[in-house]
Amino acid sequence: MHLDLASVEPSLSGPKRPHDRVDMSALPSDFQKGLTAKVGFKGFGLDKKDVDKSVKIEFEGKEYELNHGSVVISAITSCTNTSNPDVMLAAGMVAKNAVEKGLRVLPYIKTTLSPGSGVVKTYFERADV
């Protein structure tokens, strides 16, 4: 077997179903197309005039502007059927290292660690993680 590492591209899941895969290079255009596409697989059914709408929110005394595509929740999670504590720990370490290197999460974004099964939660508790 031969794998050309230059052909490997990061991807993201969603936007509606976690098992849908979108290459990072196609993400902006895929998301924009989905906003006005017919409601369904990847469509949200917005009218073109509503795509650029935004809303201002106040959180902890500061004002922020949200629009389509704004992040409001960021989760490290696992599937109930395929929970893997190693992968969950690795994701947590990546997040920790990103923060140590300066990544900041806006205060209104809810961050969460959500193991998909009670077993993984028990692994973490017993490991004092």
Model confidence over 23-51: pLDDT tens digits?
A: 999 988 988 999 999 998 888 899 999 99
CB 116 within 8 A of CB 79: yes
Question: Tokens 């502007």 — which residue?
Answer: 65
Model confidence over 64-97: pLDDT tens digits?
A: 999 998 999 988 887 755 667 788 888 888 888 9
**What pLDDT score was predicted for residue 110?**
94
- What is the C-alpha separation between 9 and 4, in angstroms, rounded? 11
Helix axes 85-100, 118-126, angle to 10 degrees: 60
Q: Is the pLDDT of residue 56 over 80?
A: yes
